[in-house]
Structure 1
Amino acid sequence: MRILAALLTVFAVVNTSFAENAVQPVTDAAPLSAEQLKEQNKQLAAKVQAQISQSFGQPVKVKEVISLANQQIIETVLSDGSLVHLTPDLTHMIYRGELYELLPMKPNNITKNRNNVKREGLMASLDDKDLVIFKAKGEEKTVINVFTDIDCGYCRKLHEEVGRLNDLGITVRYLAYPRAGVTDRRTGQLTGSFKKIKSVWCDDNRAEAMTSAKMNRTIKDNLECDAPIAEHIALGYEVGVSGTPAIVLQDGRFIGGYMKADELADMIGLE
């Protein structure tokens, strides 16, 4: 219901460039015949198909459209079975839980943009003393935040790129995200991945310990300190981490998985 309320609020926003595609409001005219309703839905399907295709810049096939809630919502079934919902003026669409503004040739993912702003604020609020940091060499051009696990294969591959990232002016800030969690559900004991990553955070030289751990070198174990691992895991859930490595850029954009240093720099937009 909250999503529906938010959607109804958006209905007031009108994109004048798409005005001709708007669905006409309900009037006191006589009820339409079955044939007329069929023709009306056919025309509406054509408008919806044209609108989505124009915004995404590629052809989209519409199988069926249904007007709901007194014509305040247009439910659309695409050829691949996907279900989308549009506002009557066809300027906004909900697809897979995300709200899009259907701008010409480029849809604006409103949900993703709002999430980026949220993640940007959360990352900016982190205290460096709670992180493992590999500073950029020379001028710092940007910062990336990486949720990492010690044993994760792609986390290790990404760590091999840290030197190159630093050369490119990118500071890497690590957050602890042991994939096995803090405790084993069966035994109630601390997991091995938690113990390893805690040893890194409790080491006097975290950066050196991180590199050693990811290279399977011997590291000091059973070290004790007030490591913020549980807090990092909770933060990971909040920003959408579902696996490691997970990268949050300085502007809040989210990258789930491994990327080579130069590819990452290109995505960020560094020259």
Structure 2
Amino acid sequence: MQFKSLMMATTLAVACSQAFAAGNEEQIRSRLEAINPQIQVMSVKDSPIEGVMEVALSSGETLFTSKDGEYFLLGQLYQAKGNGFVNLSEQRKKGFRAESLKALNPEDMVIFSPAGEVKATVYAFTDVDCGYCRKLHSEMADYNKAGIEIRYLAFPRAGVGSGAYNKMVSVWCADDRQQAMTQTKAGQAIAAKECVNPVAAQYQLGQEFGVNGTPALVFEDGSLMPGYVPADRLAAFIEMN
């Protein structure tokens, strides 16, 4: 009887906790949307700090708020551990990126693979009008020679509906995506095409990943490396990690 009562009390406590968390989430969402309807809240959950909630936004930013959503901080959460600091925010984001990459369909990407063994796969958020994206692409043979497979994801920096966005839709809708990507990044015009495509969804995913410029390289473990990296340095980094 005591065990049964204990189980009932535990179940009730968990249910109350879940209901309380749900209430907090709704209250926080309402406050933020009232301030700016364009704010999109992806998730609300407890942070490691008692009494503070962690709010993930569609922009890739993270807010830390009081339980009623009245007070908030924007930034990274660190933990003092041993002789250094651990970036807890990046750790959580890294896990989110890794799981999100696993859920992607390779058929929605533009992939350049080595002729031989694939030693590493790197996801590259790219913009066809970005100078350093074009430089990276011009050295694709070097990346592939080092055993690195590059999987392009679309990130038109000017947003959905921009000139770069329309070019990237044409690339993703082309009969030969690799050729279309190469031509576009060489500054050559390709035939304008439309189809059901992942460009807008990948742009949104990049924002959720915390991408704010291109190229942005994401590794299978969820690590994010912003900017252009030459093939030899990228290969050395992958080998070290």
Please state which band the TM-score falls in when normalised by the shorter chain.
0.5 to 0.7
Q: Deviations over 1:219-266 (max 9, x none)?
A: 12x212111111011101110011111111111100111111111122
Question: Which structure 2 segments of 5+ residues have no match?
Answer: 1-27, 29-43, 52-72
Percent identity between matched residues is 40
Quote the Cα distance in structure 1 between the aligned partners of 2:102 and 2:46: 32
Task: Tell me if the contact between 1:133 and 1:171 (Cα under 8 Å) persists in the aligned partners.
Answer: yes
d(CA) in 1 for partners of 2:95 and 2:81? 20
Aligned mates of 1:201, 1:195 — CA distance in 2: 10
Q: Indicate yes or no: 2:116 matched with 1:146.
A: no
Q: Following TM superposition, by how much is the alpha carbon of 1:160 offset from its aligned partner in structure 2, in angstroms?
A: 1.9
Aligned twin of 1:194: 165
Task: Quote the residue 1:206 is aligned against.
Answer: 177
Q: Between Structure 1 and Structure 2, whose CA radius of gyration is higher?
A: 1
Q: Is the 8 A contact 1:137 1:168 kept in 2?
A: no
Q: Which of 44, 48, 66 is the aligned partner of 1:6?
A: 48
SS at match of 1:233: helix
Q: Matched residues in 1 for 2:217 and 2:193: separation?
A: 27
Shift in Å, 1:126: 0.8
C-alpha distance in 2 between matches for 1:216 and 1:196: 11
Deviation for aligned residue 1:175? 0.8
Amino acid at match of 2:187: N
1:138 Cα shift? Answer: 1.0
Question: For residue 217 of structure 1, what is the aligned residue in structure 2?
Answer: 188
Alpha-carbon deviation of 1:110? 2.5
> RMSD value over aligned CA atoms?
2.5
How far apart are the structure 1 equivalents of 2:224 and 2:45? 23
Misfit runs of 4+, over 3 Å: 1-5
Return the alpha-carbon distance in structure 1 between the equivalents of residues 167 and 209 of structure 2.
24
Superposition deviation, residue 194 in structure 1: 1.4
* TM-score normalised per structure 1: 0.60
Distance 1:162 1:4 in 2: 43
In structure 2, what is the Cα distance between the partners aligned to 1:103 and 1:203?
A: 53
Matched residue, 1:103: 82
**What count of residue pairs does the alignment treat as equivalent?**
179
Q: Distance in 2 between matches of 1:123 and 1:4?
A: 24
TM-score scaled by length of structure 2: 0.67
- In structure 1, the residue matched to 2:56 is none
- Does residue 170 in structure 1 map to residue 170 in structure 2? no
Structure number with the bigger relative contact order (C-alpha 8 A, sep ≥ 6) is: 2
What 5-or-longer segments of structure 1 have no aligned partner?
10-93, 184-190
Where does residue 137 of structure 2 map in the other structure?
A: 159
Q: Which residues of 2 match residues 225-236 of structure 1 at below 5 A?
A: 225-236=195-206
Distance 2:75 2:105 in 1: 34
Counterpart of 2:220 in structure 1 is 250
Contact 1:180–1:193 (CA under 8 A) maintained in structure 2: yes
